[in-house]
A and B are shown apart, each in its own frame.
Chain A
Amino acid sequence: MNLTSPESWLDAHGDALYGYAMLRVREPAVAEDLVQETLLAALTARERYQGAASERTWLVGILKNKLFDHLRRAGREPTYDPTVDDDGHFEAQFDHTGHWVSPPRAWSDPAFVAENAQLRTVLFDCIGRLPERQRQVLVLRELDGLETDELLALFAISTAGNLWVMLSRARERVRACVELRWQEGSAHA
């Protein structure tokens, strides 16, 4: 086993852990707490670390569990209405006959196939503009790959239907945002 000291974890992985948490909780104080809890838990558990995963992967795994605990505690709102969050954004995309107000335009494929730094920046920015709960469920679904039943357990959303509406609205909002930013970007290119 080749494990460095807890303080060097902070130096080597602190920013990565914090960035991971910030993409999912957005409040700096909460993200800081999560990083601290993660490193403390890692300190306690370090005898059990097998060295099979990289140190970073091991720490992110611990952080993920801390994050889920946090979301479970924070997400208890039984009377939550998923459509309220969206602020009419989805409806505003269509005119009264149900047609696109601003029809989607094709994005160039190569940029989307490659892991493109500019696209990632645009995407994170668009995700960051979502209302809190929409953003949380979207990131856990589309970036972390959680399934419906896992999300329902984490957020105490009453029905799968409500969750799916929330996800649809969130994804549509991100798509519209990326579309806008992408067209702006290619106009300058």
Chain B
Amino acid sequence: MLDCRQATELAQAGLDHPLPVRARFKLALHRLVCAPCRIYKRQIAQLRRVGMQLRDSADHTRHLDDAARERIRARLRAASQEPPGAQE
């Protein structure tokens, strides 16, 4: 019988690659008798779903400060004035 630690390892591994039949069976058996590991299974599924909703997302709490913005602006301005093909 798996303990919770082993069940957690398997549940996590199953998010990256298919588990062997034997491992899946042991995991299912453990969850039959273990409520926390049943909850755990739901939690990781919920988190993965949220992760997918956040695809390509940005951290909106981070902003370019004025100095950085001006550095980039100056660089862009310089590059715009170079003849076509002369930019990096």
Contact residue range for chain B?
35 or more
B9 near A168: Cβ-Cβ < 8 Å? yes
**Residues of the A chain whose Cβ atoms lie less than 8 Å from the Cβ of B87:** 40, 43-44
Interface size on A, residues (CB 8 A): 62
Given contacts A104-B40, A145-B55, contact A22 B72 (CB under 8 A): no
A-B contact count (CB 8 A): 159
Q: Point out the residue from A98, A123, A145, A164 that lies within 8 Å of B13, measured CB to CB.
A: A164
**Residues of the B chain whose Cβ atoms lie less than 8 Å from the Cβ of A100:** 4, 36
**Residues of the A chain whose Cβ atoms lie less than 8 Å from the Cβ of B22:** none
User: Interface of chain A, helix or strand or loop or mixed?
Assistant: helix
**Residues of the A chain whose Cβ atoms lie less than 8 Å from the Cβ of B58:** 16-20, 22-23
**Residues of the B chain whose Cβ atoms lie less than 8 Å from the Cβ of A94:** 3-5, 8
The 5 closest A-B pairs by CB, nearest first: A98-B3, A19-B58, A103-B36, A168-B12, A142-B51
